[in-house]
């Protein structure tokens, strides 16, 4: 069971208070990088971008990036969302996942096989009204110089 961080609970309370008072929070996005994974002169990183707050429809724009400094054989960006709440659901780009229990999960990936140094995904993510937490994980995985490595970041 994943425990919600106290600052997320506080953010939810502040958001509910702001909405009750008719004050709209900014749609500023949270950008977070993974640690660097280096080998044979290459450095791999992953980044996620997820808004702190959703719009009035429970949606927000997200993006994810896997990047490497050297030309890889292939580079993959794997992005996953998890929603927690009673009857929680999450939809990404028209595809959705829902559960009658307490959580749901949706993932997508993009693998570049022509030596590109970046693998980028972006879209819109929406949550049902009963969702109390939305998590996001981005994993960048690359095959370079005959070795596979991964870098991951989560919120």
Task: Read off the CATH number of the domain in which 35 is found.
Answer: 2.60.40
Q: What is the pLDDT of residues 9-64, one digit of tens each?
A: 545 544 454 444 344 444 456 899 999 999 999 999 999 999 887 788 888 888 99
Query: What is the pLDDT, as a whole number, of residue 93?
Result: 66
Q: Which domain holds residue 64?
A: 27-154
The answer to whether position 40 is within a domain reads yes
* Percent helix, strand and coil across the chain, each to the nearest 5: 10, 55, 35
Instruction: Give how many domains the chain has, as a whole number.
Output: 1
Q: What is the pLDDT of residues 85-102, one digit of tens each?
A: 876 667 776 555 554 456
The answer to whether position 9 is within a domain reads no
Degrees, nearest 5: CA angle 79-83-85 = 175
Give the global pTM: 0.76
């Amino acid at each position: 069971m994943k425990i919600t961080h106290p600052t997320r609970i506080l953010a939810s309370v502040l958001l509910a208070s702001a909405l009750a008072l008719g004050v709209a929070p900014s749609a500023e996005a949270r950008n977070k990088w993974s640690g660097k994974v280096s080998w044979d002169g290459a450095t791999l990183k992953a980044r996620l971008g997820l808004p702190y707050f959703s719009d009035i429809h429970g949606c927000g724009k997200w993006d994810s990036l896997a990047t490497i400094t050297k030309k890889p054989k292939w580079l993959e960006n794997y992005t996953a969302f998890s929603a927690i709440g009673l009857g929680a659901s999450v939809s990404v780009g028209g595809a959705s996942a829902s559960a009658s229990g307490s959580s749901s999960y949706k993932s997508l990936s993009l693998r570049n096989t022509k030596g590109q140094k970046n693998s980028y995904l972006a879209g819109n993510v929406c949550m049902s009204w009963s969702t109390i937490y939305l998590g996001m994980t981005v994993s960048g995985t690359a095959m370079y110089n005959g070795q596979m490595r991964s870098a991951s970041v989560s919120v």
